[in-house]
Amino acid sequence: MIKNKRVLILGGAGFIGFHLAQKLSSNNKITIVDNLFKIKKKDYQLTKLLKKKNIKFYKKDIRKINSKNFPKNFHYIFDCAAIVGVKRVIDKSYFSLEQNIQLTLNAVNIAKKQKKLKKIIFFSSSEVYDGGGKYYNIKYPVKEKNPITMSDIYEKRTVYMSSKILGEVLYINSGLPFTINRLHNIYGPRMGYSHVIPESIKKLHLPQKTIKVFSPSHSRTFCYYKDAVDIILKLAVSKKAAKKIFNVGNQKPEIKIKNLITVIMKVLKMKKKIIFIKDKHNSPLRRCPNMKLTNQIIGKLKFTKIEDGIKKTFDYYINK
């Protein structure tokens, strides 16, 4: 665990960034930089966190930070700032690509100015495996060493994948002490509604008797945010994880979306008529990380059962 260190979290008001800041806030000095693009304004959880004396918050566009004038005493940097969400990326494809590339470039510039940097951690995505899944029949659970293949570059969804692949290449060639995390379907409180579990919870809670669900035959594994944060932090402090790429997620159980909806309804004790619709954004048919390499570094973790994670996520949104 990181203790008594100065930690910079770029995008620290977002989903994983916030939970990292919260976890580390008990025994570190934290600086959060975020322009609040995603959440628009400080919510009650962020407001409460920022009241701690050991946390500094800068509402800034990370792309516009002058790395020469920025503090140079950070031990760890978490680069988790990005434009995310399928709908947002598709609706504003060029904007999303430009923003994500510039965010990563300036994060690298900030890191290069640091005098005591132990490691910078880059948040990549399972999306980078999509091309291999579509065109080369890669084996699942997918390993980190699997060759990276682009999806059709005319598809607007490919923008997000492209920015993450480029981000990985930038860090690999930066000369910095880095670890790259490829996140696989992390879910939980405070992640917004544009993801299958909170979106389904929201739909089930509406008065309509019928709800629509996309991509019923697609399959995923899901990782509760607390488990993901534990993995990220253990990799961050491990010297064996330096300059390497790791999957962050839960290897099992892999579940089809149509079966996931059944599980959610059972956990929430709700029942509605489901109309299944084919996905219109050409999303990956499967997402399932091989966690062998990650486990070799951090040991095996006990993951939160999906039923328990769904219940905790529901409790957060219903009491929000």
pLDDT recorded at residue 275: 94
In the prediction, which pLDDT does 176 show? 98
Is the CA virtual torsion 222, 224, 230, 233 positive or negative?
positive
Burial tier of 315 (Cβ tally within 10 Å: 0-12, 13-18, 19+):
exposed
CB 73 within 8 A of CB 30: no
Query: What is the residue-wise DSSP string for 211-258?
Result: EEEE-TT-EE--EEHHHHHHHHHHHHH-GGGTTEEEEES-----EEHH
How many C-beta atoms lie closer than 10 Å to residue 278's C-beta? 9
Task: Quote the pLDDT of residue 107.
Answer: 98
Q: Which two tokens stand for residue 183?
A: 């996140």
Domain boundaries, the chain: 6-318
Q: Which residues contact 129 (CB under 8 A, 6 or more apart)?
A: 138, 142, 146, 148, 182, 284, 287
- Rounded to whole angstroms, the Cα distance separating 30 from 43 reads 18
pTM for this model (two decimals): 0.96
Q: 6-318: which CATH architecture?
A: 3-Layer(aba) Sandwich (3.40)
Number of Cβ atoms within 10 Å of the Cβ of 94 = 9
Q: Give Rg (Cα) of the chain.
A: 19
pLDDT of residue 182: 98
d(CA 216, CA 260): 9
Tokens of 320: 């929000």
Tens of pLDDT along the chain (320 residues)? 899 999 999 999 999 999 999 999 999 999 999 999 877 778 899 999 999 999 999 999 999 999 999 999 999 999 999 998 888 899 999 999 999 999 999 999 999 999 999 999 999 999 999 988 888 888 999 999 998 988 899 999 999 999 999 999 999 999 999 999 999 999 999 998 888 999 999 999 888 889 999 999 999 999 999 999 999 999 999 999 999 999 999 999 999 999 999 999 999 999 899 999 987 677 888 999 999 999 999 998 899 999 999 999 999 988 77
* CA dihedral of 112, 116, 118, 121, whole degrees rounded to 10: -40
